[in-house]
Amino acid sequence: MVPPGQRTGTDAAVAANGTEESAPERPRDIRDVPGGGPTVLRMMLGAQLRGLRERAGVTREAAGDRIRGSHAKISRLENGRTGFKERDVVDLLTLYGVDDGDERETLIALARRANAPGWWHQYSDLLPPWFETYVGLEQAATQIRTYEPQFVPGLLQTAAMARHVTGLGHGSMADDERERRVEFRLRRQRVLDGSGAGEPPTLWAVVDEAALRRLTGGADVMREQIDHLIAAAEARHVVIQMVPFQLGGHAGAGGPFSILRFARESEVPDVVYLEQLTSALYLDKRSDVDDYLATMELLCVQALAPEETRTALEAIRADLAEVG
């Protein structure tokens, strides 16, 4: 089962690799790119600068010297992993021979926009930097495909569920910090209700039955959560599938992961997100993305269809009604 417009096979591989063709001769007009949040804008600008550097025949080492940095800094800039100083962008454009005034101004303006803080910046005291990156990508994605074996995905959690799950990893936190973390999670979910900029992304969630049967937070919390999932699945841009116990072993045995896709105009590759206890991995290499896309496709085939999932959720809800 493939979400509408989802890249597969060679298309996904080329998008993930991002190197089959060099960047366009002139930067795209990025003003109308959907979901142009700061994280994606950094990635767009980095891709433009990489293309300009390669066409100019300049090495990363030489580029790093020009901006008083290293080749590693150039790599981070070109991959959108760090912010840009306007002075550095100006110096790099000069080094790459970009003399056209309109082209220079477009890229410099993009650097300014890319440095603007996202709404999540107000929660930066709670969030590790590696997760701030994910939130920026999530808010700019046009499609989010996720597999969760243990918990209901964060974008689909109720406030009560979010409050309980947050407490699992931060048992000794103060009440006000816990509530801010719950507030942050609920704020993330606004991307799905159309209250953010542009159209909401397609969310395709594959959830293991264990995450829906375990009494996380207690029976009352789970009843409310199941009702919320049934309601959420009514939205045209939300698809939920359950991996039933009876399936036994399945393609998702490697653990949870998410695949994020962005507007084609942005030239940002698909990204696979793997969260760990104290860090996260962001994969965008051709072979890695292909492997995870294949795993997700297989999971969608093995899981219950969306209509069957709704029936299963209603059965779980009925079971929970008998739990005190």
Query: Are 168 and 287 within one domain?
Result: yes
Residue 30 lies in a domain: no
Helix (H, G, I), strand (E, B) or coil at 238: strand
Among 30-34, 57-61, 270-274, the least confident range: 30-34
Query: Are 67 and 94 within one domain?
Result: yes
Question: Which of 90, 114, 138 is the last residue in one of the domains?
Answer: 114
Question: Which of 63, 89, 114 is the last residue in one of the domains?
Answer: 114
Question: Could you tell me the CATH number of the domain that includes residue 294?
Answer: 3.30.870
Please, are residues 4 and 202 in contact by the beta-carbon 8 Å criterion? yes
Mean pLDDT over residues 178-189, rounded?
A: 95
User: Which residues lie closer than 8 Å to 86 by C-beta, 6 or more apart?
Assistant: 108, 111, 112
pLDDT exceeds 60 at position 8: no
Query: Are 310 and 186 within one domain?
Result: yes
Task: Look at residue 44 in the predicted model and tell me its pLDDT.
Answer: 86
Which residue type sits at 236? R
Query: Are 58 and 147 within one domain?
Result: no
Residue 56 lies in a domain: yes
H or E stretch at 119: none
Task: Look at residue 19 in the predicted model and tell me its pLDDT.
Answer: 36
H or E stretch at 198: none
Query: Looking at the 3D structure of the chain, how many domains does it have?
Result: 2
Query: Are 89 and 136 within one domain?
Result: no
Residue 24 lies in a domain: no
Query: Are 236 and 155 within one domain?
Result: yes
**Residue-by-residue DSSP string for 2-58:** --TT---HHHHHHHHH--SSPPPSS---GGG-TT--HHHHHHHHHHHHHHHHHHHT-
Q: State the pTM of this model.
A: 0.79
Query: Are 195 and 306 within one domain?
Result: yes
159-162, long-range: CB < 8 A, 24+ apart: 159/186, 160/217, 160/220, 160/221, 160/224, 160/225, 161/216, 161/217, 161/221, 161/224, 161/225, 162/186
Residue 7 lies in a domain: no
User: Across all residues in the chain, what is the average pLDDT?
Assistant: 86
pLDDT exceeds 90 at position 4: no
Question: Could you tell me the CATH number of the domain that includes residue 90?
Answer: 1.10.260.40
Query: Are 135 and 249 within one domain?
Result: yes
Residue 2 lies in a domain: no
pLDDT digits (tens, 9 = 90+) for 57-81: 999 999 999 999 999 999 989 988 8
CA atoms within 13 A on the CB side of 34: 16
Distance, CA of 281 to CA of 144 (rounded, Å): 16
pLDDT exceeds 90 at position 305: yes
Mean pLDDT over residues 92-105, rounded?
A: 94
User: Which residues lie closer than 8 Å to 5 by C-beta, 6 or more apart?
Assistant: 143
Residue 202 lies in a domain: yes
Domain that holds residue 69: 38-114
Over its C-alpha atoms, the chain yields an Rg (Å, rounded) of: 21
Residue 5 lies in a domain: no
pLDDT digits (tens, 9 = 90+) for 39-61: 888 888 998 999 999 999 999 99
pLDDT digits (tens, 9 = 90+) for 193-242: 876 556 899 999 999 999 999 999 999 999 999 999 999 999 999 999 99
The more confidently predicted of residues 100 and 7 is: 100
Query: Are 194 and 146 within one domain?
Result: yes
Mean pLDDT over residues 272-288, rounded?
A: 91
Question: Which of 64, 81, 114 is the last residue in one of the domains?
Answer: 114
Bridge partners (DSSP) listed for residue 208: 243
Mean pLDDT over residues 132-144, rounded?
A: 91
Residue 32 lies in a domain: no
Confidence of residue 25 (pLDDT cuts 50, 70, 90): very low
Distance, CA of 243 to CA of 81 (rounded, Å): 34
Helix (H, G, I), strand (E, B) or coil at 243: strand
Query: Are 85 and 138 within one domain?
Result: no
Query: Are 257 and 210 within one domain?
Result: yes
Distance, CA of 144 to CA of 156 (rounded, Å): 12
pLDDT exceeds 90 at position 278: no
Query: Are 236 and 164 within one domain?
Result: yes
